[in-house]
Structure 1
């Protein structure tokens, strides 16, 4: 059965470039399951650039951690560990010692380095 065209349009709108949503400041660390980046919301990019050398102003900004899970092997779909992590983060989102999952971004296009799933 073919997907409803309105559903496809809505799904396409939900897929967006990571650069449209966030201003990535740099890599924090890399591990077995993925890479974590430090970022601010895209709308805060100018504010960050203006105050990046002003510790008092930076302390008022909200910084985000963006995780890009390592891809599963070609043709296997999403990384099963990433899907499991999303489910657990949603379930445990109110725990004081667990980071809050704010968004899941799917970037289906771009280079091999930029396309994929981001938490």
Structure 2
């Protein structure tokens, strides 16, 4: 009896582990993204603008023009940088990058209001 109980427990534990690792990552937290944006991005991108290159701002029209209107595209840019923009993959976690990307896209869709 003790062997069957142990086996059932091991199977249950194994099943729970499989389920927990197969769940998608937590959804992006735009509240956290706003905090990260304020600390790391506002210096160049206040209210979605760009003080270095005006046309490459964070407004929805520009994001669409440069195929940057998705969380994946913005996350990649934040992580890896490009031209004058620094890479943040060594300063922010993957979740923080996802959070700030979701915040940027959310703000762009609301015209940065």
Structure of higher RCO (CA pairs closer than 8 Å, 6+ residues apart): 2
The answer to whether TM tops 0.5 is: no
Output the TM-score relative to the length of structure 2. 0.32
Output the TM-score relative to the length of structure 1. 0.31
More strand by share: 1
Q: Which has the larger radius of gyration?
A: 2
More helix by share: 2
